[in-house]
A = this chain, B = another copy of it.
Amino acid sequence: MSVLSRELDFQLYECLKADSLTSRDRYHGQSKEDYASVLSAAERLAGDYFAPHYAKGDANEPQFVEGAAHTIAETGEAWRAFAEAGFLSAHWDAEEGGIQLPEPVFRAAMAHFFTANVATMGYPFLSIGAANLLRTFGSEELKRLYLPLMASGICAGTMALTEPGQGSALGDIKTVAEPADDGSYRISGHKMFISGGDQDFSDNIVHMVLARIKGAPAGVKGISLFLVPKFIPRADASRGERNDVALAGLLHKMGWRNTTSTVLSFGEKGGATGWLLGEPNRGLAHMFQLMNEARIGVGLIAACLAYRGFTESLAYARERPQGRLPSCKNPLSPQVRIIEHADVKRLLLTQKAYAEGALALCLQASAWFEDQHSHPDQTRRELAGHLLDLLTPVVKSWPSRYGCRSNDMAIQVLGGSGYTREYPVEQLYRDQRLNPIHEGTEAIHGLDLLSRKVRQADGVGLRAFLNLMRQESDAAEAPLQVLAQALRQGADGLEAVTAKLVAAQSSQPDLALAHATEYLDAFGRVTQGWIWLKQARVAHQALHTADKGSDALHYYRGKLQAARHYFETELPLVHVQFELLTSLPGTTLEMKDEFFL
């Protein structure tokens, strides 16, 4: 079994008890063995079709030729293999053509692909999100026409939100939609940073476009959601004529090079034909379904890139001999492998804490997503929804930030070699750097968490989460008391700081929110304390059952060591952050443009 498989099994079954999902109505007849075969199919496919061209796709990014984006052949081969194996629709209802795969298992399967080749996975990632939007908000007619095309990979999907002049401020979207007589709309405007906005391997592409219906109110309350295909399918689902959507150009990224990043022009010849999804003027609310899913997806991607960097640098450290320990004074003694050096161990153990902590957090989020939709108990469904809502900014942002730190450390383990393209860690570092930016920058998520999520529904999500952390702390066995105590202090501090910052928002909104990014980081730091105590408890219990000297025993020892390391080196920093957030200095806010230089 691969190391990632072992890790996913620990998270899915030992921590999240995902096998118990088979007792739910929706999953009747499924078994843990079914999940195992899906996961091993994912691993095999990722190894056969995605991993081999990870570097090649980076070195040969898509080209803009005569108004179209051209990709290397391997990208299309991977896309088709992914689609043929049914992964584009595995989580769909049976009646939609899916196999009703539970969310945590589906996301764990995706982890194999993200770890193998994140840039080629950009296309399936966005297509899955776009199809989910159609499943929720599409008319029966649209679903009947497009869902089979999207399941089979004939039609890929994108999310087209961002425009050149607007960036993070979605309320300023300017793309316009004019109603046509046949119930469709004519869309005109420009979108940029649209990932997968064009490519040459799927027969068609469907864009999920935010636009304003002519005469709609200003701001976020006047935005609607449209389905706009590249080619308008005929009634028999065959490819029809080209829609008025043009590829204006490609953006050239530092990483994720094999995913096209496009500038799209809608309506240069009079208006692209689009169909309304959901209600008029509710488009942003609808799009948030995709955005929330994509945010958890970005967290998972960040976790996977960190995990890949961790395993690559671990493999190097196990092979590479260099130098001797400080206590050794004999220059003729043999060199040790660098994994023996304390600082290399530190770099590896910290990566382990970041990568596995991030993975655990994202799969926990998938478990909440699952509970929100399929838990038999309505109270539990609501609770899971509140927790997921609250934590989404953290699930997106913490793995992204610490994923960057983690991939930085992977390079450091390899030293000069890590800085060269002869090894994969520099590509992971470049690919990872997108994650704190797309699907909402860190700053946006900080504001979302502090100004909306912790206050939402009168704070019920936050209270539930604080409860969860305290329960975990209370349940900890004696050898984990130091960790449990530290988590409790973190939760207490978080509660106090949040109350203060929420109160300050009514009197001084700009100042109270000026440190929202710091708050987000502190929130994530405590959250990871909970994640690591949970894992430590499972590992501690399992020590008794594992055979002496077995791989299983070693694995659990490693988990406990990583948990201790996190509590020793990362969690204590939160109290400095709490002090800053309590004193709320105005230093940044008072900084004036003209003082900068």
Q: Contact residues of A with B, CB < 8 Å?
A: 3, 6-7, 162, 165-169, 171-172, 192-193, 218-221, 251-255, 261, 311, 314, 318, 320-327, 331-332, 335, 339, 341-346, 348-349, 352, 404, 408, 411-412, 415-416, 418-422, 426, 429-430, 433-434, 436-438, 441-443, 446-447, 451, 509-510, 513-517, 551, 554-555, 557-558, 561, 564-565, 568-569, 572-573, 575-576, 579-580, 585, 587-597
The answer on a CB contact under 8 Å between A569 and B580 is yes
Chain B hits for A594, CB < 8 A:
551, 554
A305 to B: closest C-beta gap in Å? 15
Chain B hits for A323, CB < 8 A:
167-169, 172
The answer on a CB contact under 8 Å between B441 and A412 is yes
Chain B hits for A171, CB < 8 A:
331
Q: A162-B416, A167-B415 are in contact. Are A345 and B573 (CB under 8 A)?
A: no
Closest-by-CB residue of B relative to A325 is B510
Q: Which residue from B437, B451, B588 sits with its C-beta under 8 Å from A412?
A: B437
A396 to B: closest C-beta gap in Å? 15
Chain B hits for A426, CB < 8 A:
254, 433
The answer on a CB contact under 8 Å between A558 and B595 is yes
Chain B hits for A349, CB < 8 A:
587-588, 591
A341 to B: closest C-beta gap in Å? 7
Copies in the complex: 2
Q: A261-B420, A422-B251 are in contact. Are A595 and B561 (CB under 8 A)?
A: yes
The answer on a CB contact under 8 Å between A253 and B172 is no
The A interface, classified by DSSP as helix, strand, loop or mixed, is: helix
A57 to B: closest C-beta gap in Å? 16
Chain B hits for A324, CB < 8 A:
169
Q: A218-B332, A565-B588, A585-B568 are in contact. Are A167 and B438 (CB under 8 A)?
A: no
Q: A433-B411, A597-B6 are in contact. Are A343 and B311 (CB under 8 A)?
A: no
Closest-by-CB residue of B relative to A568 is B585
A298 to B: closest C-beta gap in Å? 13
- The CA-CA distance from A332 to B169 in the complex, in Å, is 12
Q: Which residue from B404, B568, B580, B593 sits with its C-beta under 8 Å from A339?
A: B593
Chain B hits for A162, CB < 8 A:
416
A595 to B: closest C-beta gap in Å? 4
Chain B hits for A421, CB < 8 A:
252-254
- The CA-CA distance from A346 to B586 in the complex, in Å, is 11
Q: A326-B451, A587-B568 are in contact. Are A408 and B416 (CB under 8 A)?
A: no
- The CA-CA distance from A218 to B324 in the complex, in Å, is 14
- The CA-CA distance from A433 to B513 in the complex, in Å, is 32
Q: A331-B220, A597-B314 are in contact. Are A514 and B561 (CB under 8 A)?
A: no
Q: A168-B415, A332-B218, A341-B443 are in contact. Are A596 and B314 (CB under 8 A)?
A: yes
Q: A171-B331, A326-B510, A595-B558 are in contact. Are A420 and B346 (CB under 8 A)?
A: no
Chain B hits for A515, CB < 8 A:
342, 346
The 6 closest A-B pairs by CB, nearest first: A219-B331, A558-B595, A169-B323, A342-B514, A343-B443, A254-B426
The answer on a CB contact under 8 Å between A588 and B345 is yes
- The CA-CA distance from A565 to B580 in the complex, in Å, is 11
The answer on a CB contact under 8 Å between B408 and A437 is no
